[in-house]
Amino acid sequence: LPLQRMRTHHSPCMFFHIHSAGIYVVTEVKGLLNLIWDNKTSLMLQLDPKFKGKVCGLCGNFDGNAKNDFMKHNGEVVTDPEDFGNSWKVNPDCPDVTNMINVCKENPHRRVWAVKQCSIITTDVFKDCHALVDFGPYYDACVRDTCTCDSGGDCDCLCTAVAAYATECRKKKVCVEWRSQKMCPWSDLSVTLHFKVPLLHILHALIIIITIMHNYMQVTISQTLILTLTI
């Protein structure tokens, strides 16, 4: 798509550009952020470096320290995701979340398969990265996400979860060839990306919302956000 111009309420003109990069659809907003979609279940939000250490909220504070990302609205750092999430409620009338659903317990038939498939993160396949990126949180997230899948061999959420760890490894200059014919083969990925109008509307809406929040509300965002979407 050609370079396009977008106006937001009471804000100066902004430029954004949508293009493909490998398996990804990338929306670049000049001087602000990149939205990177894998054409399936993963959406990454990357902030411009100028925002480093200047944001906070549900996505972290973009200071390079993942250990303090669970900072509540009052500045207190906690470990309980429920406590953390509840502190950032926009509407005080909304009830607190007090009992997070354990998806693996809700779907016990999926747990065995999830543990088996996600174990690739802990194996020698990723051994060169283990000392650089702690695989524990990624393995736990992989099992949790994979327990929500409806089917096995073509489970997008499994591939997205493993790819998330591989992406962090790549940031540390470690490229891991983890895909195979039996594990998230490249042949399952669309080489030619088709831009769908609903998707573009979603991306444009995200850009507008984030811009307005940044300009007027100072609502916080972080360096990289990975969302598991139901598409």
pLDDT (tens digit per residue) in 106-157: 888 889 999 999 999 999 999 999 999 999 999 999 999 899 876 544 478 8
Statement to judge: residues 117 and 44 lie in one domain: no
What pTM does this model have? 0.64
The fraction of the chain above a pLDDT of 90, given in percent, is 31
Find where tokens 């100028």 sit.
Answer: 50
**pLDDT (tens digit per residue) in 188-223:** 554 444 444 445 555 555 655 555 445 544 444 433
Q: What is the residue range of 78's domain?
A: 4-96+192-228
Digit-coded pLDDT (tens) for 30-46 = 888 898 887 777 788 88
Shared domain check, 78 and 52:
yes
User: Does one domain contain both 164 and 208?
Assistant: no
Residues 217, 173, single domain; the answer is no
Residue 89 and residue 143 in one domain: no
pLDDT at 78 over 80: yes
| Residue 227 scores a pLDDT above 90 | no
Residues 80 and 157 in one domain: no
Helices (H), the chain: 81-87, 103-106, 108-118, 127-130, 136-146, 156-171, 197-212
CB contact at 8 A, 140 and 187: no
Is the domain of 8 the same as that of 89? yes
Looking at the structure, do residues 70 and 123 belong to the same domain, yes or no?
no
Which run of H or E residues covers position 14? strand 14-21
- Whether residues 23 and 62 share a domain: the answer is yes
107 and 162 fall within a common domain: yes
Our count of domains for the chain comes to 2
Q: What DSSP line would sit under 70-113, residue for residue?
A: -B-TTS-B-S-HHHHHHHT-S-TTSPPP-----HHHH-HHHHHH
Same domain, 108 and 83: no
More confident residue, 100 or 137: 137
Q: Which DSSP helix (H) or strand (E) runs through 28?
A: strand 24-29
**Residue 72 and residue 123 in one domain:** no
Residue type at 212? I
Q: Which of the residue ranges 82-91, 154-163, 188-197 would you say has the lowest mean pLDDT?
A: 188-197
Strands (E), 98-223: none
| Residue 170: pLDDT over 90 | yes
Closest CA to 60 of 208, 10, 47, 40: 47
